[in-house]
Chain A
Amino acid sequence: MLVVFKKIFYILIILTINLYICEYIGNKLSARAELRRGYRITRLRGAGFPIVRFLKYLSKDNRINIWTFFIFLLSFLIWATVPITSNLILVEMDYSILAAVFFYIGLTTMLVLNSGSTSYSGIFSEAGKKSLILLSFLIPCLLSIASIVFISKTLNLKEVVNSQYQYWNIIFQPLGFLTFFTSSLLQLKLLGISRKNYVSGNIKIGREGTGLVKIIEKISAYMIIFFLIIILSILYLGGWQNIYFIRGEIMIAVKFYLIYIILLLLDKATTRIDNYRLLVRINWGFLIPVSLVNFIVTFGFSIARSFNLF
């Protein structure tokens, strides 16, 4: 029992530090990419910025409904089955990918629907449309994950990492990596991590001044991105595999921040997409067909291999 509490404590510490660093990096990178100096109300080159922002939102009075509480719960529950490092996993199970995907879909759905809800318990039609677009970005992710499952023939994330001891899966699945990465980038855009007011209109993600609800929404949006990046590095980039003398824990941290920075810079490099038809066109015209072709080819190869055709 003590071991479980110890693990929970470690996971919470890691997530909090990650939240702090990612918020700081996001602020600094977006400022520097625009040749600005960034937020400097606090000394030490704006190191206190995430704390100041947290306190700013905390000071505002806001009611929390039960769905917000569930979102908060799910955003930490999502890490129960996802191994951050080889030992840091709460529930060891053979179907960890399925559980992780289940929590991920649940969190995304609840976050978007809650953000679009109004005070009279209705949901804006515009918000419903946007949430459907966000949910449709899950399809290429799921197809890419299914392709990896066919390659490594396991649903356990630890075994997926162990199966990459010789070659990383990105070598066998470049199209899957591309679609997963692009889908993550577009989800980052839709969740409004780096750009405020991206999801404009009546949806509340990325809008200022809604108190504690705002903090919870922001944390859960970050958790979705953390989850996608960790899953990306586990499925395609070898996870916590040692490289020469560098320890696996350090390697996964390096991969995590590298992917996060690249995602932020790509988000800065792409224009602000207000036209939702464009998003739909990217998803249904490029991501889903490519990931589907990738899935079918992988499925065919795995069938052929099981029948010893080659």
Chain B
Amino acid sequence: MLRLLKNFFINIKNIFRRPRTVAYTGERIIIPEGSRGVLHLKLDLDSLKVICNGCGLCSVVCPQDCIEVKKSIDSDGKEVLDEFFLDLRKCIFCGNCVEFCEINAINMSYKYQLAEHNERNLKLEKIELIKPSSIIKDFW
């Protein structure tokens, strides 16, 4: 009986609370802190170049084998990132790559609405992974 009354008052309280669901296309939702979206390649704020040096550790630890990294050597004889491919068809957003990155060059963005008409669009390149829009939390 007490449980029934408790549930009854919880229901009454819920009526006056804000609903958790939204009308999908018309309203935005606030994405919780720590959500895992598409990978984002960090930029060095002074030189505006990619921090990643293309060591390829992320592609080694990736359980789905969805990251492909190519590196090159620049004029200073330093290893730099040449190409970075992410296959979203395979990615399970586990976050292993972010955890294992030694120079902390990648993180998970809040971009999560990934439906595409064309399958080829799900294979992202370096330029698409650098876009700042994907790290702004409320943008999506």
A35 & B19 in contact (Cβ 8 Å cutoff):
yes
In the complex, the chain B residue whose C-beta lies closest to that of A30 is B11
| B-side interface residues, number (CB < 8 Å) | 15
The answer, yes or no, to whether A29 is at the interface (CB within 8 Å) is: yes
Stretch at the interface among A87-95, A169-177, A266-274, A297-305: A266-274
Quick check: is B64 within 8 A (CB to CB) of the other chain? Answer: no
Shortest Cβ gap from A69 to chain B (Å): 38
**Is A281 an interface position by the 8 A CB rule?**
no
Q: For the complex, is A53 an interface residue (Cβ under 8 Å from B)?
A: no
Q: Could you tell me if B19 and A31 are in contact, using CB atoms closer than 8 angstroms? A: yes
- Bound complex: CA A14 to CA B11 (Å): 29
Q: Which of B4, B7, B11, B20 has the most CB of A within 10 A?
A: B11
Interface string of B19-40 (1 = CB under 8 A from A): 1111100000000000000000
B14 touches A37 (CB 8 A): no
How many Å lie between the Cα of A38 and that of B20 in the bound state?
11
Known: A32-B14, A34-B14. A265 touches B21 (CB 8 A): no
Which B residues are in CB contact (< 8 Å) with A34?
Answer: 14
Closest to B3 in A: A269
Complex alpha-carbon distance, A33 and B21, angstroms: 12
Q: Is A40 an interface residue (CB 8 A)?
A: yes
Give chain B's interface secondary structure class: helix
Q: Which residue of B lies closest to A262 (CB)?
A: B8
Nearest CB on A from B73, distance (A): 56
Which of B7, B17, B19, B21 is within 8 Å of A269, CB to CB?
B7
Complex alpha-carbon distance, A268 and B14, angstroms? 12
A37-B23 CB under 8 A given contacts A32-B15, A268-B11, A269-B11:
yes
A49 to B20, CA, bound (A): 20
Contact with B along A260-292 (1 / 0, CB 8 A): 000001101110000000000000000000000
Interface size of A as a range: 10 to 19
Q: Measured between alpha carbons, how far is A34 from B11 in the docked complex, in Å?
A: 8
Asked if A35 and B23 sit within 8 Å, CB to CB, the answer is no
Complex CA distance for A32 and B15, rounded to whole angstroms: 5
A63: Cβ under 8 A from any B Cβ: no
Closest to B5 in A: A269
Within the assembled complex, what's the spacing in Å between the Cα atoms of A30 and B11?
A: 9
CB distance B19 to A37 under 8 Å?
yes
Chain A residues, Cβ within 8 Å of B127: none
In the complex, the answer to whether A269 meets B8 with C-beta atoms within 8 Å is yes
Name the residue on A nearest B8 (C-beta): A269
| Cα(A34)–Cα(B17), bound, Å | 10
With A29-B15, A32-B15 in contact, do A269 and B20 touch (Cβ < 8 Å)? no
Q: Is B48 positioned at the interface, with any CB of A under 8 Å from its CB? A: no
- Tell me whether B23 and A36 are in contact (CB under 8 A): no
Q: Cβ of B21: which chain A residues have Cβ within 8 Å of it?
A: 35-37
**CB <8 Å contact, B4 and A269:** yes
**What residues on B are CB-neighbors of A33 within 8 Å?**
11, 14-15
Residues of B within 8 A of A270 (CB): 4, 7
B8–A266 CB distance below 8 A = yes
Distance A270 CA – B3 CA, assembled complex (angstroms): 9
Contact, CB under 8 Å: A265 / B23: no
B12 lies within 8 A of chain A by Cβ: yes
Give the nearest-CB partner of B14 in chain A.
A33
| Complex interface: chain B residues within 8 A of A40 (CB) | 23
In the assembly, what is the distance between CA of A270 and CA of B4, in Å?
Answer: 6
Inter-chain contacts of B10 with A (CB < 8 A): 269
Residues of A within 8 A of B22 (CB): 37
Residue among A35, A36, A269 with max Cβ neighbours from chain B (10 Å): A269
Some 9 contacts from A to B, beta carbons below 8 A apart, are: A29-B15, A33-B14, A34-B14, A36-B19, A37-B21, A37-B22, A266-B4, A268-B7, A268-B11
6 shortest interchain CB distances as A-B pairs: A269-B7, A269-B8, A33-B11, A37-B19, A32-B15, A35-B20
B residues apposed to A, CB below 8 Å? 4-5, 7-8, 10-12, 14-15, 17, 19-23
